[in-house]
């Protein structure tokens, strides 16, 4: 299953490709409202079970982006998904850690892909 990339705003998009939710661009406060709407719009297309959240193409992130990722992780867990965060850039990990939302094994409520854990 795949879905066309939903533009969340000028600098951020996300799409579903198989069992992978791919995040792109700038997950920052200016894009937060559009990103949230895009996540909600994509929600019906998310496959059940294990879902990889691929953050490798996130180019920028701030506290609002982390808040949205935490909300995403919570919503996925609450609806029976098994989210795995993959490819989180260093800046995402740093921002999450600064906010108490992540460590080496978990980030924004999601399990960090085992292949990336130390």
Partner 1 sequence: MTGGIDIGEAVAAFMVEGRDLVEQLEAGLLRIEQGHDRGDRELVNAMFRAAHTIKGSAGIVGLEGLSRFTHHVETLLDRVREGLATLEDAQLTLLLQCCDHMRALIIVAEAGDPSGEALEAAGQDILTRLGATPGGPRPVTATIPGAAGPVAGFRLWAAFGEDCFRDGLDPAAAMAYLAQRVADLEVVLAADRIPPL
List interacting residues with partner 1 (CB under 8 A).
29-30, 32-33, 36, 39-40, 43, 61-64, 66-67, 70-72, 74-75, 94-95, 98-101, 109
Minimum CB distance to partner 1 smaller for 29 or for 104: 29
Residues 31, 9 contacting (CB under 8 angstroms): yes
Minimum CB distance to partner 1 smaller for 72 or for 84: 72
**What's the closest the beta carbon of residue 115 comes to partner 1, in angstroms?**
25
Question: Taking the C-alpha atoms of 48, 71, 95 and 28 in order, what is their torsion angle to the nearest 10 degrees?
Answer: 100
């Amino acid at each position: 299953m795949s879905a066309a990339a939903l533009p969340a705003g000028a600098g951020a998009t996300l799409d579903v490709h198989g069992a992978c939710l791919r995040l792109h661009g700038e997950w920052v406060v200016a894009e937060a409202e559009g990103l949230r709407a895009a996540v909600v719009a994509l929600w019906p297309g998310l496959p059940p079970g294990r879902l990889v959240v691929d953050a490798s193409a996130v180019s920028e992130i701030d506290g609002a982006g982390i808040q949205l990722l935490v909300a995403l992780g919570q919503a996925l867990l609450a609806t029976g998904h098994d989210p795995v965060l993959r490819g989180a850039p260093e800046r995402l990990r740093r921002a999450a850690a600064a906010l108490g939302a992540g460590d080496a094994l978990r980030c924004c409520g999601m399990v960090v892909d085992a292949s990336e854990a130390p």
